[in-house]
Structure 1
Amino acid sequence: MSDLAITGLLVLSLFLILGSGVWIGLTLSGVAWIGMQLFSSRPAGDAMAVAIWGSASSWTLTALPLFIWMGEILFRTRLSQDMFRGLAPWVQALPGRLLHTNVVGCTIFAAVSGSSAATCATIGKMTLPELKRRGYPDNMVVGTLAGASTLGLLIPPSIIMIVYGVMAEVSISKLFVAGVLPGLMLACLFSGYIVLWALRNPEQVPAADEQFTLRQKLAASRSLIPVVLLIAAVLGSIYTGIATATEAAAVGVVGALVLSAVQGSLTWASFRDALMGATRLYCMIGLILAGAAFLTLSMGYIGLPRHLAEWIASLGLGQAQLILALAVFFIVLGCFLDGISMVVLTMGVLMPTIQAAGIDPIWFGIFIVLVVEMAQITPPVGFNLFVLQGMTGRQLPWITRVTAPMFFLMCGAVALIYVFPGIVTWLPQQMLSR
């Protein structure tokens, strides 16, 4: 049976099982089982046990539930209200004024969350009612929030980076450090768009509430001190080499518990809700990773990744053409799958091709995160769009339309990191030289 026929059969099986409503993790395991049974001589049960145990027992993966738990704890604190109070005085003088709280708030919260959806929900609870009350246009409020909340995937700690690091066997600490500058660059692009829009539409920007003196701004900034200290503890311990990503995640959890206790929001109910929320989310991700590990092993025995890599190599694509083709592929794939599923489904197949093309796996990891960010705001399976639909009551087509400028800014960010790869690789190289 030809590779094309085998691939077609497995892809058809994947979509049929997914379409029947089976969980993604179980679907991946089912497709892997079909492949092993039909096209490999190795017993499928033995292979599944080895793959799933190897995936579940990875020490590196320990960072994932810890960072999820940290984000859940902070989600239930008064952090969002404190952030708005601390940020608002500083952005009043910028064109677009308080719209920048969406971008800056998401950038800050992304550095302690790791989840795009959590960033969107938390900052949305803070900014949506406040900006609406002050008369800012809904299309800009919702559009900038949708785009900026995707920074939860790019600015470390990032759940998707941990998943990629495990799948691609790349240092998670280096990935975290590599995401800092691209994340800040993307935040600047979003804020730059707000400035340009405000200069073109000054009549739509409400007047400043009040003028703040420098002393008042500094006094308001005290609200930001706890979250800044937490970011410094997590990322500083990684960058200085004091802690691995997993150890830094533990530092983050302890810091988040202390922060919520000091704020007075740490109760038994909030602790239990945060723990159960993190457990549910990690169990879902863990099941997907286990199924993907079995599928990767199955594909390896069938030989599809090797044959696909050979076929792509035979096309003679240059690096630029390969990156462009993969960007389009992931954007289309993101219309139907969530980001984690996209990464775990494709990395086993693509990594040999990426290595053969001479592409830095750290750089490629950031590229993957950027295109997965785009998938968060593309219908029909754009998680951030669903979150905003639930928070605003608006229809999905309207949310998609007002988010479109952010999508194109992300395309520009991908082009920038390709033309200037040092945006991604410079900080990890500094980390190695220490």
Structure 2
Amino acid sequence: MNHDLTITALLILALFAILASGVWIGLALSGAAWLAMQLFSSRPAGDAMAVTIWGSASSWTLTALPLFIWMGEILFRTRLSSDMFKGLSPWVQALPGRLLHTHVVGCAIFAAVSGSSAATCATIGKMTLPELQRRGYPDDIAIGSLAGAGTLGLLIPPSIIMIVYGVSADVSIAELFIAGVLPGVMLALLFSGYLVFWAWRHPDLVPPADVPMSLAAKLKASGSLIPVLLLIGAVLGSIYAGIATATEAAAVGVLGALLLSAAQGSLSWASFRDALLGGTRLYCMIALILAGASFLTLAMGYIGLPRHLAEWIAGLGLPAWGLLMALTLFYIVLGCFLDGISMVVLTMGVILPTVLKAGIDPLWFGIFIVLVVEMAQITPPVGFNLFVLQGMTRREIGYIARVTLPFFLLMAAALALIYLMPSIVTYLPQRMRGG
């Protein structure tokens, strides 16, 4: 084990040294893997690198990823966000906390067509923050609730992280998508529940309600939500009904997003090109990280690190809950330095054998990982949602992290709930299988 720890320490030092030099994450992962193959394995590193990178880049399952990213980019450039606010605000006026709930409901709806936490946070924030500020809502709760609710972009399908996990762990992406629905709804309800509690504690800080609207006026205002709800239904319904795979559903989503954009008058050659280039840039970054991580996973496999680590952790005799607590702390700390995709692809090769040996369902573990990565999205200094909000509000990272803390704790409560009641995750996939 001491020999393994020495190799692990050398690999980590090499990886951080390459990262510190300013090299892209994907290339840094490949560099560390190449060193490992050269120093500790008899297989030629160049041959292994070529085969692995080609294998990860040509994966059919991964085709869903650029399509969902492109769909989110197209919708990002439509009038969807402003229409969503107009459609939602009449319905939340009666709730304690009033328009603060537009963050939770808006992020939940946009998450179902975006798949990206940062895109969800940015799109909804552009629409809601100026409006909430104008109406006199306190910045602390407005910014905190947006940072927390923005993480729903990872949990409510389609989710980029779920696709990455599904490819890394060889788990059905369609089942992961369906498994994320109930936990996503549960987390949204926890967030809204906290906003109700906050409004009850601070009634003097909640601005007065707008003029009451009739049901007919509310329904008319909500008409703008119908297209996006139909798009969500088409994407998730085709997967749930078994009509389409995740990749085919992503293609349906792109077509639907283009039609929606054209119907709204937002589709021009410039917006089409910007969406395509934006999606391509983001996917290329993710694909490079995935390719580098695949090569690093192969190198670690040749050295035997995952097996030895799994045996070592198994030898500790930790019960399943102890292992999950240790992994939660590990991923939260890791989230202080790496983005979510890097965290998943870097660690799956090592962590998954241990998890399977402990008898944990890999489908359930996928949702667990997504929740923990969500928590990492709002941990400084490398919380992606914190970066997005810092750019939008010009506030310090420390301030944003502080006002987001209650929502971080609610995610920890959600982790405890899915552990105590695993059927929250597994019920819908079992129904989909007909079990």
- Fold in common (TM above 0.5): yes
Matched residues in 2 for 1:11 and 1:383: separation?
A: 23
**1:387 maps to which residue?**
388
Q: C-alpha displacement at 1:19, in angstroms?
A: 1.2
In structure 2, the gaps of 5 or more residues are none
Q: C-alpha displacement at 1:162, in angstroms?
A: 0.2
With normalisation by structure 1, the TM-score equals 0.99
SS in 1 for 2:266: coil
Matched residues in 2 for 1:404 and 1:210: separation?
A: 33
SS in 2 for 1:324: helix
Q: C-alpha displacement at 1:210, in angstroms?
A: 1.1
Runs of 4+ aligned structure 1 residues displaced above 2 Å come to: none
**2:311 maps to which residue?**
310
SS in 2 for 1:242: coil
Q: Which one-letter code corresponds to 1:127 in the other structure?
A: T
Matched residues in 1 for 2:91 and 2:338: separation?
A: 39
Matched residues in 1 for 2:200 and 2:101: separation?
A: 14
**1:337 maps to which residue?**
338
Q: Which one-letter code corresponds to 2:256 in the other structure?
A: G
* CA deviation map 1:34-64 (0-9, x unaligned): 0000000000000001100110000000000
Q: Which one-letter code corresponds to 2:403 in the other structure?
A: V
Q: Which one-letter code corresponds to 1:17 in the other structure?
A: I
Q: C-alpha displacement at 1:8, in angstroms?
A: 0.8
Q: C-alpha displacement at 1:395, in angstroms?
A: 1.0
**1:431 maps to which residue?**
432
Q: C-alpha displacement at 1:209, in angstroms?
A: 1.5
Matched residues in 1 for 2:404 and 2:379: separation?
A: 9
**2:205 maps to which residue?**
204
Q: C-alpha displacement at 1:351, in angstroms?
A: 0.9
In structure 1, the gaps of 5 or more residues are none
**1:401 maps to which residue?**
402
Q: Which one-letter code corresponds to 2:208 in the other structure?
A: A
Q: C-alpha displacement at 1:212, in angstroms?
A: 1.0
Matched residues in 1 for 2:9 and 2:401: separation?
A: 32
Matched residues in 2 for 1:134 and 1:188: separation?
A: 24
**2:142 maps to which residue?**
141
Matched residues in 1 for 2:6 and 2:267: separation?
A: 56
* CA deviation map 1:257-309 (0-9, x unaligned): 00000000000000000000000000000000000010010000000000000
**1:258 maps to which residue?**
259
Matched residues in 2 for 1:212 and 1:110: separation?
A: 28
**1:281 maps to which residue?**
282
What are the equivalent positions in structure 2 for 1:91-102 lying under 5 Å apart?
A: 91-102=92-103
SS in 2 for 1:2: helix
Matched residues in 2 for 1:292 and 1:41: separation?
A: 20
**1:42 maps to which residue?**
43
What are the equivalent positions in structure 2 for 1:89-128 lying under 5 Å apart?
A: 89-128=90-129
Matched residues in 1 for 2:158 and 2:6: separation?
A: 41
**2:357 maps to which residue?**
356
Q: C-alpha displacement at 1:216, in angstroms?
A: 1.0
Matched residues in 2 for 1:241 and 1:126: separation?
A: 35
**1:244 maps to which residue?**
245
Q: C-alpha displacement at 1:157, in angstroms?
A: 0.2
Residues 1:64 and 2:65 are matched in the alignment: yes
Q: Which one-letter code corresponds to 2:336 in the other structure?
A: C
Residues 1:79 and 2:80 are matched in the alignment: yes
**2:222 maps to which residue?**
221
Q: Which one-letter code corresponds to 1:305 in the other structure?
A: P
SS in 2 for 1:414: helix
Residues 1:129 and 2:134 are matched in the alignment: no
Q: Which one-letter code corresponds to 2:316 in the other structure?
A: L
Matched residues in 1 for 2:398 and 2:39: separation?
A: 43
**1:291 maps to which residue?**
292
Q: CA RMSD in A?
A: 0.7
**Kindly, what percent of the aligned residue pairs are identical?**
78
Matched residues in 2 for 1:133 and 1:289: separation?
A: 43
Q: C-alpha displacement at 1:4, in angstroms?
A: 1.1
SS in 1 for 2:395: coil
Residues 1:369 and 2:370 are matched in the alignment: yes
Q: Which one-letter code corresponds to 2:86 in the other structure?
A: R
With normalisation by structure 2, the TM-score equals 0.99
